[in-house]
């Protein structure tokens, strides 16, 4: 039996990329670490804020890979001479991915009080009207 997806519906021509994005986001469901907010900071501006307490700027990497914003964090190893009586603060790596719509670009990133802010801007496209000429077959 063939897997039927919404991208294969005859009325949704050209939406194959959207179908692939939905599939990849379903496969890459995160466990919820680190927590994040997404807010609209202007008419065409957005901000993603991640709670990255304990991470330094050099422990974090922000990349855009094939319309996906990928934020990775990896903390350095603790000194070998430290002896913990209780270790409740986990030093774990993470990766968070966000799918960017066409025209949305990363405009900057900043760390403030244990929060990583990633600013996004949407370029406003010009309205284009295209007239299609009808020819005889």
Virtual torsion, Cα 82, 88, 91, 96, nearest 10 deg: -170
Q: What's the pTM value of the predicted model, to 2 decimals?
A: 0.69
Q: Does domain 32-122 have CATH number 2.60.40.790?
A: yes
The pLDDT tens digits of the residues spanning 60-75 come to 999 998 889 999 999 8
Residue 6, CA distances (Å) to 27, 67, 68, 122 in order: 17, 21, 21, 27
How many C-beta atoms lie closer than 10 Å to residue 32's C-beta? Answer: 7
pLDDT at 97 over 60: yes
SS3 104: strand
CA–CA gap between residue 4 and residue 8 (Å, rounded): 7
How much is the pLDDT for 105?
A: 93
How many C-beta atoms lie closer than 10 Å to residue 40's C-beta? Answer: 10
Query: Could you state, in order of their start, the residue ranges of all structural domains in the chain?
Result: 1-30, 32-122
Tokens at residue 46, please? 């957005």
């Amino acid at each position: 039996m063939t897997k039927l997806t919404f991208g294969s519906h005859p009325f949704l021509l050209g939406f194959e990329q959207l179908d692939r994005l939905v599939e990849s986001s379903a496969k890459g469901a995160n466990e919820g670490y680190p927590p994040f907010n997404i807010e609209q900071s202007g008419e065409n501006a957005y901000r993603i804020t991640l709670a990255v307490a304990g991470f330094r700027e050099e422990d974090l990497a922000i990349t855009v890979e094939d319309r996906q914003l990928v934020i990775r964090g990896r903390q350095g190893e603790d000194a070998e001479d430290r002896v913990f009586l209780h270790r409740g603060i986990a030093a774990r790596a993470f990766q968070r991915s966000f799918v960017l719509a066409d025209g949305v670009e990363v405009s900057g990133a900043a760390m403030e009080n244990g929060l990583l802010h990633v600013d996004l801007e949407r370029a406003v496209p010009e309205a284009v009207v295209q007239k299609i000429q009808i020819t005889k077959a």
